[in-house]
Amino acid sequence: MADIGTSYFKAQRFGEAVRPLSEAVLANPGDDKLARRLAVAVQQAGFAGTGGGEAKPTPVETQGQAPQDPEDPLAVMSDIARRVDNERVSGRLIPPPEGFADFGYPSIDYANHPGYGADKGLLTGEEGDVIKPFYEAFAPIWNGYLSMKSRASSRPVSPAHAETFRTLERDGILGLRMTDAERAELLERTEPVAEEVRRRRAELEPGKRGVEASSGHLYHVKNKPTDFVDFLNRVFENHGILEMASAYQGVPMAVKLANLQINSVEDMSIVGNSLVGDLPLSPAYYMHIDSSIGVMKVIIYRSKVSAEQGAFRYVPGSNRIGVTPFELCVRKATDKSDYDSSKTKFRRRFVGLPPFLQKKANFGNDLQPGHPELEPLLERERVMTSDDGDMLLFDNNGIHRGAIFESGEREIIQVLLAP
């Protein structure tokens, strides 16, 4: 199959190359060259057409890929949902050896929710075409998920990190501690950026301190390598972070992005963006999963952080929630399309979606008091303070939130790990 797929690929017959390449990738896990060819074939066949006057391949012909601009995007999504209805996955690219969790993402009846279907003032009929923008977010997420999952395979973990890795697989999060020398170097290297963020924050009223004003750039993979990313790689190697992240996802992982953030109890942007109309703030506000596929994150506490000072919060075991791959990608698409925003115009668009698409990544804001899954979720949530470690490696498909303040301030560095 590898030879057949490669022949079609070299002839630029991408639609015909996808099926044999898919089978070859599954038969040869870890073969990066085959995986890259499959990704290119999928992109060319599913997004741009095959060229040469040939018709665009259907989803069936591309092994379930979502074409870029179908005539009926709702029919494409319905077909994908139907075909994977019996399949269960977690957010990982490889199956969880610990088994799926005994709970799932909360189920919310949006048709009768007071901030959605039951809000008669929301249903004005002015939302326009809600399917096309949603599909434009969903298609690349779905296709990217299939492509990356085809590349993933079991990777070894050294004996030195084997026990710690089992905890990561079970809980979805690890607390690790830097050495005194590493921490001193971190503070010294990042102080100029921290000082700039403090200056910007001081010039703004607390209600206007959004992400931009509270964040400072330390590294981005699209820029030239810096001394700071060299430092991070050294620290992460010392503690097995990249090794464990690579084994967890089944593909080689690397540092892609690092930002410094400063937040305080005075900042109101997260709370303000979490209010659903005139409803009271949910006790689970800002609980979410992230929108990216195949990534993980590291939170580094730059300052000492207590439970009251915006400590990171995570629901252990929620990394193993089992859903269909379609639901997983739908939840991420609501984030990418802004349909999970609590702002009126996006709630209006969201409630215009058919029920099978009404799944959010940022669902915590919509859990009102009395919801049967609210209290069990809050009871499972763990507050990760500086006492648990000054580096937190976690699967961002697990349920999490941060910057929930009662007092004080926190300084963190957020690091994105990706294939």
* E strand map for 265-326: 296-301, 312-314
Query: To which H or E segment does residue 75 belong?
Result: helix 73-83
Q: What do you get for the CA distance between the two ends of the chain, in Å?
A: 26
Q: What percent of the chain has pLDDT over 70?
A: 85
Q: Is 408 buried (19+), middle (13-18) or exposed (0-12) by CB count in 10 A?
A: middle
Chain position carrying tokens 């709702």 = 74
SS3 135: helix
Contacts of 227 (CB under 8 A, 6+ apart): 189
Position 123 scores a pLDDT of 74
Mean per-residue pLDDT over the chain, rounded: 88
- Beta carbons of 88 and 322 less than 8 angstroms apart: yes
- The verdict on residue 140 lying in a domain is no
Listed as own residue / partner, the contacts of 121-128 with beta carbons closer than 8 Å and 24 or more positions apart are: 122/277, 122/344, 122/347, 122/348, 122/351, 123/348, 123/351, 124/348, 126/348, 127/345, 127/348, 127/349, 127/352, 128/349
Average pLDDT over residues 203-211: 72
| Number of domains forming the structure of the chain | 2
- The verdict on residue 309 lying in a domain is yes
- The verdict on residue 299 lying in a domain is yes
Model confidence at 64, pLDDT cuts 50, 70, 90, reads confident
Residue at a domain's end among 28, 60, 92:
60
Residue at a domain's end among 18, 45, 60:
60
- The verdict on residue 101 lying in a domain is no
Please check whether residues 253 and 391 belong to one and the same domain.
Answer: yes
Please check whether residues 254 and 390 belong to one and the same domain.
Answer: yes
- Beta carbons of 299 and 98 less than 8 angstroms apart: no
Average pLDDT over residues 371-391: 97
- DSSP letters, 399-414, are -EE---BSSSEEEEEE
- Beta carbons of 303 and 367 less than 8 angstroms apart: no
Position 32 scores a pLDDT of 63
pLDDT at 1 over 70: no
Contacts of 205 (CB under 8 A, 6+ apart): none
Position 94 scores a pLDDT of 92
Tens digit of each residue's pLDDT (9 = 90 or more) over 90-130 = 999 998 888 999 999 999 999 999 999 999 888 776 678 99
SS3 322: coil
Please check whether residues 50 and 189 belong to one and the same domain.
Answer: no
- Judged by average pLDDT, the poorest of 11-15, 287-291, 338-342 is 11-15
Please check whether residues 177 and 34 belong to one and the same domain.
Answer: no
| Angular region, 294: left φ>0, alpha ψ -120 to 50, beta rest | left
Instruction: Report the C-alpha gap between 202 and 150 in whole angstroms.
Output: 48
Residue at a domain's end among 18, 38, 60:
60
DSSP percent split of the chain into helix, strand, coil, nearest 5: 45, 15, 45
- Which among 80, 228, 209, 92 has a CA at the least distance from the CA of 142? 80
- The verdict on residue 131 lying in a domain is no
Tokens matching residue 411: 């300084």
- The verdict on residue 220 lying in a domain is yes
- Which among 204, 383, 191 has a CA at the least distance from the CA of 299? 383
Going across the sheet that includes 400-401, the strands are: 382-384, 312-314, 400-401
Please check whether residues 254 and 372 belong to one and the same domain.
Answer: yes
Range of 193's domain?
159-319+362-418
CATH for 239:
2.60.120.620
- The verdict on residue 71 lying in a domain is no
- The verdict on residue 298 lying in a domain is yes
- Beta carbons of 82 and 324 less than 8 angstroms apart: no
- Cα Dmax for the chain: 64
